[in-house]
Amino acid sequence: MRAAVYDNKGAARDVLNIVERPVPEPGLNEVRVKIAVSGLNPTDIKARKLPPGQIAAQVPLTTPHRDGAGIIDKVGPGVAADRVGERVWLSQLDRTMTLGTAADYALVPANLAWRLPDGTTFAEGACLPIPALTAYCALFRDELIRGKTVLVHGGAGAVGFYAVQLARWGGAGKIIATVSREEQAVKAKAAGADTVINYRTGDVLQQIEAAAGGPNGVHHVVEVNFGANVALDAALIARNGTLAAYGSDAEANPNIPFSAFMQKDVLIRAAILYETPRKLISRAAAEINGLLEKKALRHQIAARFPLDRIVDAHEMQESGTTIGKILVDIAELD
């Protein structure tokens, strides 16, 4: 089968190649999926890139990407045979994974391959897994948001765009989103944000407080960049508020204003989908499928590339200029 691979960390153009790999066989409780569309995430870039200051070293032969959509073509022991032929969206939530979805076939635990509702395309399915599941878990793991004010940082990003929609579906009383560009503001507004704030202009805290109806008026924060925003979040969050942070690229180990959070009895969750309880992920996938069946979720596709242009896809992801999910087309199965 065709597969993108790398066996050294480094720049996409230096290390990514298309090769032939053996077609994998599903093991216990696994399914094999013929991939239609593979979805690219920032975590895929981090896994492949060489950290600053480190010397290149060989790594196990790795096919990138954890998200995708396609058709189950074979099942392993422990999986019902009638799943063969099922259209699915999937995510390989295993940090040791070396055979990802940027290939003709991929393996995944059967409970991480979810039925793709009729009328939802493979491209839409490949947009979903890590972004939509992260958004759901960041919103609904710790408390109900119905009637409350929710702040989504990065409201036009892959996770943020779904978070705004899911907050609206979950009955949030008010949804505030932050963005950095006008074109992002349009997207966040279309997703359902009541107020969209460009954090590069004006006094951000003042603008958020005005939108929330006063100081300490944000009950729940979905945070894409904890290190950059920790002081801001500490200032604006309400008493007994909750904060779910799924990223902190600007500062991986920030100084946390503990007293400011403690005085308000704030719950801070440093969230990562790979360690999220599978029961919660199953609930999230079921709720997301319910919305798909009602055509109640919008998706953002920034660009699509064929497998032989996977280097271009990775370079576009690294550019930071796109809005939405970058997809790699593997096969025409629709």
141 CB burial (10 A radius; 0-12, 13-18, 19+): middle
Q: Are 186 and 99 in contact (CB under 8 A)?
A: no
pLDDT of residue 53: 65
Helix axes 129-140, 158-169, angle to 10 degrees: 50
d(C-alpha 334, C-alpha 232), whole Å = 46
Residue 183, helix vs strand vs coil: helix
Q: Which of 41-50, 103-112, 229-238, 268-277 is predicted with the least confidence, judged by mean pLDDT? A: 41-50
Residue 91, helix vs strand vs coil: strand
Confirm whether 247 is domain-assigned: yes
Helices (H) and strands (E) in the chain, counts: 11, 16
Q: The tokens of 278 are what?
A: 């599978």
Domain ranges, residue 258? 132-274
Are both 155 and 248 inside the same structural domain?
yes
Are both 246 and 177 inside the same structural domain?
yes
Are both 123 and 152 inside the same structural domain?
no
Q: Which of 45-54, 63-72, 143-152 is predicted with the least confidence, judged by mean pLDDT? A: 45-54
Q: Are 237 and 265 in contact (CB under 8 A)?
A: no
- Model confidence at 56: pLDDT above 70: no
- Model confidence at 55: pLDDT above 70: no
Are both 9 and 112 inside the same structural domain?
yes
Model confidence at 333, pLDDT cuts 50, 70, 90, reads confident
pLDDT of residue 17: 97
Are both 122 and 156 inside the same structural domain?
no
pLDDT of residue 58: 81
Query: How are beta strands 87-91 and 67-75 bridged, if at all?
Result: antiparallel
Q: What is the CATH number of the domain that holds 313?
A: 3.90.180.10
Are both 269 and 230 inside the same structural domain?
yes
pLDDT of residue 95: 84
Confirm whether 229 is domain-assigned: yes
Confirm whether 292 is domain-assigned: no
Whether the full predicted model's pTM is greater than 0.85, yes or no, is yes
Are both 263 and 193 inside the same structural domain?
yes
Model confidence at 143, pLDDT cuts 50, 70, 90, reads confident
Are both 168 and 109 inside the same structural domain?
no
Q: What is the CATH number of the domain that holds 244?
A: 3.40.50.720
Model confidence at 114, pLDDT cuts 50, 70, 90, reads very high
Percentage of the chain with pLDDT > 90? Answer: 92
Are both 123 and 136 inside the same structural domain?
no
Confirm whether 252 is domain-assigned: yes
Number of domains comprising the chain: 2
Are both 53 and 176 inside the same structural domain?
no
Are both 12 and 80 inside the same structural domain?
yes
Residue 252: how many CB atoms within 10 A of its CB? 9
Name the one residue in this structure whose structure tokens are 């920032």.
Answer: 42
Are both 166 and 243 inside the same structural domain?
yes
Residue 119 Cα to chain centre, angstroms: 22
What is the DSSP secondary structure assignment for residue 41, as one 8-state letter? -
Q: Are 109 and 95 in contact (CB under 8 A)?
A: no
